[in-house]
Structure formats: C-alpha cells, structure tokens
C-alpha cells in the first residue's frame, strides 16, 4: 500500500507544479509590449525587455536575438523554441507512469495477499472463514491501485493538453513576431 500511496503523492505533486508552470505569465508573459516593439521593428528594445523577464517567450527571444549565426530567423527561432518547449513538457509523462504502475502494484499486493491467505488456510486446517476475510483484505490493494490510477491518468491527459496549449500559444506569438521581423 505504501508504494501506491507514493504514486498518488507523486501525481498530485506534479499536477500542482505543472499548473504553476502553465500560468500564462510563465509561458508568454505580457506580450503586448513585445508585440508593440516588434511591430515598430525596435529589436534592441525587445532585447532589453526580454532580459528583464523569465517567461518562456522571453527566454526564446533572448536566445534568438543573441544568436550570431546569421541563419534564417525562422529556423533559428524554431531551434530555440524546441529547446525551450521541452521545459514545458517536463514531468508531464510521470502521472501517466503512475497510472500504469499503480494497478500493477495493487495486483502484486493482491497476489501476495492471496499467497498469504492460502498459506494461513493450509496451516489452519482448511477453515473457510480464513479465506473469506483474507480475500477481502487482499483485494483492497487492487482497489487502492485503481483509485490512484484513474485520477493519475486524468491528470496525465490534462497536463499534456495544457502543455500542448501552452506551446501553441507560444508558437502563435513567435510567428507573429517573425512576421514583423520579415517585414510582412
């Protein structure tokens, strides 16, 4: 039961940590200033502005504006966006792992409990009352595993959805900035 409890604690901890990380202020920050400066093509002012902030958009823009490779701005932006977007997806798969592991731990607990029951049943001379109480006790771990697995799966799917949405929001703003940079 303790490993199953640990799985539930891990899933909840990651949920709260990721919800904090998926705040709009952490993903794109206040885009109005940056978009206004990009529209006016004031790239030095944008570089100064993004150095003051710690949202993902500012991190990407800081890397793009500091890049000295003279490559296509679209390719450079995509490269740095992929690097930063991995931070957005960080830890999101762990609740999915907990959703998979929890029922298996519950099943393992049930099997070990059944082995214990049949050992006690044999030692007690075949008393059927030992079986009834023992089977009930052994099945608790399977139920506990499922109780943890189902919410963990929901948490996993929700976090993947939020991460995808955050990346889409980030891509939208970056594409808008790239349009200003290309002069269209």
Task: List pLDDT tens digits, range 58-95.
Answer: 999 999 999 888 888 889 999 999 999 999 999 999 99
Domain spans of the chain, in order of start: 2-91+161-182, 94-158
DSSP assignment of 28-85: T--HHHHHHHHHTT-HHHHHHHHHT--SHHHHHHHHHHH--S---HHHHHHHHHHHHH
| pTM reported for the whole predicted model | 0.85
Residue 132 is predicted with a pLDDT of 74
Task: List pLDDT tens digits, range 6-21.
Answer: 999 999 999 999 999 9
For the chain, first and last CA: distance in Å?
61
Residue 123 is predicted with a pLDDT of 79
């Amino acid at each position: 039961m303790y490993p199953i409890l640990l799985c539930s604690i891990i899933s909840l901890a990651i949920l709260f940590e990721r919800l904090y990380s998926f705040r709009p202020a952490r993903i794109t920050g206040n885009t109005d200033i940056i978009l206004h400066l990009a529209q006016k093509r004031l790239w030095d002012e944008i570089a100064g502005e993004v150095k003051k902030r710690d949202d993902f958009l500012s991190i990407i823009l800081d890397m793009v504006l500091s890049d000295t490779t003279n490559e296509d701005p679209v390719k450079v932006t995509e490269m740095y966006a992929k690097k930063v977007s991995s931070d957005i997806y960080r830890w999101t798969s762990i609740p999915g792992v907990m959703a998979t592991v929890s029922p298996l731990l519950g099943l393992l607990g049930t099997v070990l409990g059944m082995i214990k029951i049949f050992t006690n049943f044999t030692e007690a001379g075949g008393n059927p009352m030992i079986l009834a109480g023992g089977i009930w006790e052994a099945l608790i771990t399977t139920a506990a595993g499922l109780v943890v697995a189902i919410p963990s799966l929901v948490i996993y799917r929700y976090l993947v959805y939020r991460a995808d949405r955050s990346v889409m929001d980030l891509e939208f703003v970056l594409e808008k900035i790239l349009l200003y940079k290309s002069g269209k």
